Chains A and B, each alone.
Chain A
Amino acid sequence: MKYVIPCLIIFIILAALKSKVSVYNTFISGARDGMKITADIFPPLVAVLTAVYMLRASGTLDLITSFLSPLTKLIPPEVMPLAIIRPLSGSGAIGVLTDILNSYGADSEIGRIASVITGSTETTFYCLCVYFAKTRAKNNLRAVPFAAVGDIVGIATAAAIIRFANF
Chain B
Amino acid sequence: MNYIWCAMIAVSIIVSFFNGTVNETLNAAFDGAKESVFTVLSFAGIMCFWTGIMKIAEKSGVSRKAERLLGPFVSFLFPGAGGKAKKYISMNMSANLLGMGNAATPMGIKAMECLDAENPIPARASDNMCMLVILNTTSIQLIPTTIIALRAACSSSEPFSVMLPIWISSFTAFFTAVFFAKLWFGRKNFRFGRDKL
Interface of B is mostly: helix
| B147 contact from A8, A51, A55, A119, Cβ within 8 A | A119
Which B residues are closer than 8 A to A by beta carbons?
A: 1, 4-5, 8-9, 11-13, 15-16, 19, 21, 24-25, 27-29, 31-33, 35-37, 39-40, 43-44, 47-57, 59-62, 102, 105, 108-109, 112-113, 115-116, 119, 122-126, 129-130, 132-134, 136-139, 141, 143-144, 146-147, 150-151, 153-166, 168-170, 172-174, 176-178, 180-181, 184
Instruction: Point out the residues of chain B lying under 8 angstroms from A41, CB to CB.
Output: 40, 43
Bound: A111/B156 CA distance, A: 9
Instruction: Point out the residues of chain A lying under 8 angstroms from B143, CB to CB.
Output: 5, 8
| B56 contact from A21, A46, A89, A92, Cβ within 8 A | A21
Residue A74, interface by CB 8 Å:
no
Given contacts A30-B54, A161-B168, contact A48 B5 (CB under 8 A): yes
Residue in A18, A47, A51, A89 whose Cβ sees the most chain B Cβ within 10 Å: A51
Interface of A is mostly: helix
A106 and B156 form a contact (CB under 8 A): yes
Question: CB-defined interface of A60-96 with B at 8 Å, one 1/0 digit per residue?
Answer: 1001000000000000000000000100110010110
| A37 contact from B47, B112, B137, Cβ within 8 A | B47
B62 to chain A, nearest CB (A): 6
